[in-house]
Structure 1
C-alpha cells in the first residue's frame, strides 16, 4: 500500500526536517478557514520547534487561584489552606504533564520538610513552561525568596506572588478562566 492510498496523505513523503507531516498544518497554525485547535491561542507564535523534536501531550488544565485569596485563606485557616494549595497545584501539574511530584508526596514533604516546598513548587512551574518551549518565569532558585523573610513574611509573600502568578498565567494561556 502506498502513501497515496491513505486518506489525507501527501502524494510524496515530506522532505527531511520539514514542518508539514502527512497533510497537517505546521505547529501552532490552524488550517486555512478554521479556528485554532489550541485553547487560549492568541495569535502570538510559539518559539520554533526543532525538526524531529517531541511535542509533549498535555493532560487536563489546572485551576486559576487568585493570589490574594490564597494568601488570605492561608492566614485565616492558620496555614491549613497553604497545604491544600500545595496538594492541589502539584496534583494538577502532575496530571497535566505526567512529570513532577504528585499532590500526596508534595503534601507530605510540605508537612515534614516545609522549607523545600518553595523550591519544588517554583521549579515545577518553571519546568512546565520549559516543557512547552517557553521561557521560565520562575525556577527552583525563586524559592530563595522564601528563606530570608521566613519570620517577617515579606520573602514568602514575594515568592508566592511570583510562583502562583506564573502558574496562573500558564493555565490562562491554555484557556483556563
Structure 2
C-alpha cells in the first residue's frame, strides 16, 4: 500500500523535493533562552585546559608488590617483566581509554626494549595528570633504566619509582 491509499496521507506528507513545513519558518529562540556563546558560530570546541579533571571511566587496576615483582623478574630470568608490562598497560588503557594498551606495549618492549621504560613512566604520569594531580613520574624517569643494562641499580630504581607511583594511584582509587 502506498501513502496515497490512506485518507489524508497526501496532506500530511510534503511532495518529494519540497521543504517540509517545520523547516520553512526561521528559527527563533524563546525569549527566556540565553544568548549563544560569543564567538561560537559553529567553531570547534576549544581544548580542555591543562590540568583539567577527567574522571576515570574504566575499572581500577591491580596493586602489584614491588619486591615480589622484582623477585619474579629475577626468578623467571626477565620473562615476568613482559607479563608486568602487558598487564600494566592493559589496565591503564581499560581505566582511561588512552594509552598504548597491553599488546602494543608488549610489542614495543620486545622490539624496542630501550623505549619501554620511557613510555611506561610517561603513561603512569599521565594517569596523575588526567586526575589533576602532580606527576610523580614522567618519561624522563625512564633515564634511570637506560644505563642499567650494565649496572642493575638504575633499572631497579626506575621500577621502584614507576611501580610505586602506579600502586599509589590505584590505592588512591580504592584498590587493595
> Matched residues in 1 for 2:118 and 2:57: separation?
23
> Matched residues in 1 for 2:154 and 2:132: separation?
29
TM-score w.r.t. the length of structure 2 is 0.69
Distance verdict in 2 for CA 1:57–1:168, change over 3 Å: closer
Equivalent residue number for residue 62 of structure 2: 63
In the alignment, is the contact (CA less than 8 A) between 2:53 and 2:131 conserved in 1? no
| 1:54 Cα deviation after fit | 6.1
TM-score w.r.t. the length of structure 1 is 0.69
- The residue matched to 1:71 in structure 2 has which SS? helix
Q: Which runs of 5+ in 1 are unaligned?
A: 1-49
Equivalent residue number for residue 150 of structure 2: 151
Which runs of at least 4 in structure 1 moved beyond 2 Å after TM superposition?
A: 53-58
How many pairs does the alignment contain?
A: 126
> Matched residues in 2 for 1:164 and 1:88: separation?
12
- Which structure carries more helix by proportion? 2
Q: Which runs of 5+ in 2 are unaligned?
A: 1-48
| 1:152 Cα deviation after fit | 1.2
> Matched residues in 2 for 1:84 and 1:90: separation?
10
> Matched residues in 2 for 1:164 and 1:90: separation?
12
Which deviates further from its counterpart, 82-91 or 148-157? 148-157
> Matched residues in 2 for 1:129 and 1:92: separation?
15
Root-mean-square deviation (CA, aligned residues, Å) is: 1.3
| 1:150 Cα deviation after fit | 1.8
> Matched residues in 1 for 2:116 and 2:110: separation?
9
- The residue matched to 2:146 in structure 1 has which SS? coil
| 1:56 Cα deviation after fit | 3.2
